[in-house]
Amino acid sequence: MKVKKHALLLTSIFLSFSIFTAVVSTMPNNPFNLTTEPMLNNHFNPEIISFWQDHAKASDFQGVDNKRIHTISITTGNDKAVVISQGRNESVLKYKELAYDLHLQGFDIFLIDHRGQGFSERFGGDQYRGYVEHFQDYVDDLNQYISSLDLEKHYRQRYLLSHSMGAAISALYLQQYQNPFQATVFFSPMFSINLGPLPNFIAKIITYTSAEICTWFSDKACYTPGGKGYEKKDFERNHLTSSEARFYANQHETQMFPETQLGDATMRWVATSISATEQAINNASKINIPILLIQAGDDEIVTTKGQIAFFENVTFCKFNSYLSIENARHEILLERDEFRLTALTRTFQFLTDTAQGKLTCTK
């Protein structure tokens, strides 16, 4: 019943914006010859690992408040570039398979570990607390990084891909700063967090107040109720992906590099993130490049409510597109082939159409 309700609501929005939308539940074709689960093991596969070792170049820069931010660049002489903005509790290592697929499609790839996670500098009291003082710090870091790349000078085509929290960061960046991109894709974007029955305004009061009170008694940021440091999970207990192969490949990377491990979110992170998602929705009309929003139909981390509100407010480009993938979980880029191939095939078609001038921004 919940899925049907969402489908009806989405349909009404899509008709009003004259946008093609598909809900996919069958195994798609693979026209771009992307990697598939039979090609993977618990360490992705030798080709992907060799590609990463040969081409992924790590560097750091000093972000807001001189925090050390880690980045990866993969440049192999292409005239197309993709910048990837990752989700919460992710590192650049998660994107090895995607980077390999993008490389085979003729892209150079640039990745950033957002502050407080991955290989970037940690704070909040210890390594494991998912913490940020101000969500805007993520946005300003991203702007600093993208500006340093001088993409317009080096690349004929330039795109921004984002997942979950990274999508909220990217949306705010696109709303606030001049940018070099021709289009953007949001995967499972965090425009509203799954807070259960708790309304946003009550959650903000509770989390902001709790974060402040916590500082009276401890120099460490407080976890959300029940929150704790990093804990290795079994596939059966995860709510992020239904692909066992990709789940264990990603977990292997996390075990190999324990410095990338992160625990649960803090009260401060939740509070400032709720405010950021509201800001992203309210200012969505300021985004002036084509967007593709890909929703995971079985997402337990973020909700469709914010995604629908955001998409409804992005009124600048008439060719914006919304794809809902039925039964897919939050980690679309680590999902089973039937979901991941659907998302990426649509993504590459969207980027191709943008490059060919078929998608333009007119109100």
Residue 295, pLDDT > 80, answer yes
Residue 138, pLDDT > 80, answer yes
The tokens of 97 are what?
Answer: 């398979």
**What pTM did the predictor assign?**
0.91
Mean pLDDT of 102-107: 98
Please check whether residue 362 lies inside any domain of the structure: no
Please check whether residue 11 lies inside any domain of the structure: yes
**How much is the pLDDT for 52?**
98
Number of structural domains (the chain) is: 1
Please check whether residue 180 lies inside any domain of the structure: yes
The tokens of 340 are what?
Answer: 């991941």
DSSP of 11-78: HHHHHHHT----B--SPPP-TT----GGG-BTTB-HHHHHHHHHH-EEEEEE-GGG-EEEEEEE-SS-
Please check whether residue 168 lies inside any domain of the structure: yes
**How much is the pLDDT for 3?**
41
Please check whether residue 361 lies inside any domain of the structure: no
**How much is the pLDDT for 1?**
43
Mean pLDDT of 248-269: 96
Task: Please report the sign of the dihedral spanned by the C-alpha atoms of residue 90, residue 198, residue 304, residue 338.
Answer: positive
Please check whether residue 42 lies inside any domain of the structure: yes
Please check whether residue 360 lies inside any domain of the structure: no
Q: Where residue 336 sits, what CATH number does that domain have?
A: 3.40.50.1820
Please check whether residue 91 lies inside any domain of the structure: yes
What SS3 state is found at 337? helix
Q: Provide the domain limits for residue 158.
A: 2-355
